Amino acid sequence: MDAAEINYCPCCDAGLCPTDVKHFVWDILHKWEAHGVAFSEETWANYPENCELELFSCPNCGFGVFLPMLTGTDAFYIDVTRNEYYLADRWDFHVAIKLLRANGAGSVLDVGCGQGAFLARVKQSLPKVACSGNDANPAVRSCLPQGVPLYTSLGDVPDGLDAVTLFQVIEHVAEPAQMLADAVTKLRQGGMVIVSVPDHSGPIRFFSDSHTAIPPHHVTQWTPASLEALFSKFGLKIIARKREPLPDYLMPFYLHKIIANSLGCMGDPVREAQIREKLADPIIRFCQRFGIKSLPVKGHTYLVAGTR
């Protein structure tokens, strides 16, 4: 997928528009290094020094894509996953386990399974469900729960599954629509697909320059409308839409920004600092004191489940 090939939104087919958001890829790699990641010579060599990436966005559904398309290479992911990359416990895992249970799923494939954190939770909560994982990185095989097969290619996965999950994975790949289409072919008729993405209509839009939210890590941007449009495009019947509330561990990063935005003083460093001190920090202390784990405002993730 390059600039010549992607003039149209892969979710809703509207024409994509250029934006003024641009980044040089080596500047982004330097940001990662400033945050403690050391890139190998191979990783640096994977990316051209003077390559500028430009964000194109869909005026209809809010989908975004950085072009030219530069995804994370094997060497890039070896470097960024060396320390604390995979979260063991996530909101979307809990939602998905409830959906698997409610739908009586007997089998599940996790696409982009990483070290198998979700499959380990399924094994624990729903021990009768047959689990399998798909990840391009064969090194994760030894991390998966005992007896869970790893398929490094989606093409090798047997058909007829009850459920397929894609947690925070389609934003990493060059062809997200194709990835979803390939995953759906593994389902039996009536089987369920669950997809979660970072929601760019939520508070992460206040941090859209963050090195983790742009290429080579995230190459596309998603909104509830774009994810639902993609489900419709593939004829999937949407059975659940879930928005993550703001979890306690993200409150220190997001809460003052959310309040500043709602008060119309976003980007004013003095007002933002006052809001953090006088409003956000007291709310966070209150939540800590009374064991409140989340607030009912838009958090990081949006999840959609649909049946084939």
CB of 123 to Zn ion, least distance (A): 37
63 binds Zn ion (CB under 5 A): yes
- Name the residue among 131, 121, 130 with its Cα closest to residue 95: 121
Query: Which 4-33 positions form the footprint of Zn ion (CB under 5 A)?
Result: 9, 11-12, 14
Compare residues 65 and 255 and give the one whose CB is closer to Zn ion. Answer: 65
CB of 241 to Zn ion, least distance (A): 17
Query: Could you say which of 1, 58, 157, 163 contacts Zn ion (CB under 5 A)?
Result: 58
Query: Which 157-186 positions form the footprint of Zn ion (CB under 5 A)?
Result: none
SS (H, E, C) the chain: CCCCCCCECCCCCCECEEEEEEEEHHHHHHHHHHCCCCCCHHHHHHCCCCCEEEEEECCCCCCEEEECCCCCCHHHHHHHCCCCCCCCCCHHHHHHHHHHHHCCCCEEEEECCCCCHHHHHHHHHCCCCEEEEECCCHHHHHHCCCCCCEECCHHHCCCCEEEEEEECCHHHCCCHHHHHHHHHCCEEEEEEEEEEEEECCCHHHHHCCCHHHCCCCCCEEECHHHHHHHHHHCCCEEEEEEEEEEEHHHHHHHHHHHHHHHCCCCCCHHHHHHHHHHHHHHHHHHHHHCCCCEEEEEEEEEEEEEEC
Compare residues 37 and 61 and give the one whose CB is closer to Zn ion. Answer: 61
CB of 231 to Zn ion, least distance (A): 13
Among 63-71, 107-115, 143-151, 209-217, which window interacts with Zn ion (CB under 5 A)?
Answer: 63-71
Compare residues 16 and 259 and give the one whose CB is closer to Zn ion. Answer: 16
Compare residues 228 and 272 and give the one whose CB is closer to Zn ion. Answer: 228
CB of 58 to Zn ion, least distance (A): 3
Among 43-51, 54-62, 140-148, 280-288, which window interacts with Zn ion (CB under 5 A)?
Answer: 54-62
Compare residues 63 and 254 and give the one whose CB is closer to Zn ion. Answer: 63
Among 2-10, 90-98, 178-186, 188-196, which window interacts with Zn ion (CB under 5 A)?
Answer: 2-10
CB of 224 to Zn ion, least distance (A): 12
69 binds Zn ion (CB under 5 A): no
Compare residues 16 and 129 and give the one whose CB is closer to Zn ion. Answer: 16
Find all residues with CB under 8 Å of 47, minimum gap 6, and list them. 25, 26, 29, 70, 216
Give the interface size with Zn ion as a residue count (CB under 5 A): 8
CB of 168 to Zn ion, least distance (A): 20
| Helices 224-233, 176-184: crossing angle, 10 deg rounding | 50
Compare residues 119 and 227 and give the one whose CB is closer to Zn ion. Answer: 227
Q: Which residues bind Zn ion (CB under 5 A)?
A: 9, 11-12, 14, 58, 60-61, 63
